[in-house]
Copies of this chain bind each other. A is one copy, B any other.
Amino acid sequence: MDTILKNHSKCRIVVDAMGGDFAPLNTILGSIQAYQESGEFDLNLVGRTDEIKKIISSQNLTFDESKIIHADEVIQMGEKPTKALKQKPNSSIVVGTKFVKDGFADAFISAGDTGSVMAASTLIIGRIPGVGRPTISTAMPNESGVCNLFDVGASVDSKPKHLLEYAIMGSIYTEEMDGIKNPTVGLLNVGEEEGKGNEVTIEAAELIKKTKLNFIGNVEGFDILKGSANVIICDGFVGNILIKFGEGVLDLLKYKFKEYASKSFTNKLKVGLIRSTMREALKDFDYQTHGGAVLLGVNKISIIGHGSSSPIAIKNMVLRANEIHKKNIIEKISNAINQYSNIN
């Protein structure tokens, strides 16, 4: 089965050269580096041709300029997504996603405005048939193993059916990308007992139970970092507030340590000694440094990077797109969604 599904065609990747706070420098540096190191995929850059050429030249990079897709406009951070897509049809995000939609590429990567990239991916590239809502995850650090939290902000007001979709898509993604056979799936809730929760989760649990997923039932807030499940499902409203709260916990801890250090020279020494441990313990929490979130449920590959993406972050996103393509994850998700389409 796996061999049949294996994708033998080269992945064709489009990178939004204009997306992100340090674009087009970081986007060009990162994607060309990935391209040269791997050689497994085709690369297109979309954006203002003159600006892209200038960077290629000033950085002494080698890149076939016929692979540049011209797009004159740039959607800025914070623009209202649906309005921006309409008002800027020649923006790199719209032109890039259209290029994918029209079958010229398999993957779109952008560190531009998250809302606009999500909207363009969903509306222009389109959803996998049967998927009501796309979802993005963040890999949560834990004591051992892997835990991917879906959804962390792509969709709010998720219906039970959408949570079922996140469970199906998250399970496949985690199995393929993290190499965990039959990953455990938990439903984030206010209590472990069956029947606990709000209306949506109570109904969602009933739906997920009908699948062949390795569903372990409800999990609670503390389970996210315990690694009690490999895949944890929640509405994007909850997931988004959670990951931002997690950042807040770390900021407060850093503040408390700084405050303590400022009280005396001895304290300062103590805190200095432990700084590297702190940094190591905390680094896993910064979900945005992992090099982008994959928008699952879209009919092609779509990866959204953090605005401040470094060249390495961009490079990792490009390599990840290639891996998703090789593992045929979009097709596998599509098949699974189809397999479970009768559940409701």
Chain A residues engaging chain B, CB cutoff 8 angstroms: 141-143, 153, 156-157, 188-190, 197-199, 201, 220-226, 234-238, 240-253, 255-257, 260, 267, 270-271, 273-274, 277, 280-282, 285
Contact B157 A199 (CB under 8 A): yes
Q: How far is the CB of A37 from chain B (nearest CB, A)?
A: 32
Given known contacts A198-B157, A277-B271, A222 and B237 CB-to-CB distance under 8 angstroms: no
Contact B260 A280 (CB under 8 A): yes
Per a CB cutoff under 8 Å, which of B157, B198, B281 touches A257? B281
List residues of chain B with CB within 8 A of the CB of A274: 270-271, 273-274
Nearest CB in chain B to that of A254: its residue:
B281
CA gap between A286 and B251 in the complex, in Å? 17
Nearest CB in chain B to that of A244: its residue:
B221
List residues of chain B with CB within 8 A of the CB of A225: 245, 248-249, 251-252
17 CB < 8 A contacts A-B: A142-B252, A143-B255, A157-B198, A188-B241, A189-B241, A197-B237, A198-B237, A222-B248, A224-B245, A225-B252, A237-B238, A242-B245, A256-B280, A256-B281, A257-B277, A260-B277, A274-B274
List 4 A-B pairs, minimum CB-CB distance, nearest first.
A221-B244, A222-B248, A221-B245, A256-B281
Q: How far is the CB of A96 from chain B (nearest CB, A)?
A: 25
CA gap between A281 and B255 in the complex, in Å? 9
Nearest CB in chain B to that of A78: its residue:
B193
Q: How far is the CB of A242 from chain B (nearest CB, A)?
A: 6
List residues of chain B with CB within 8 A of the CB of A156: 190, 197-198
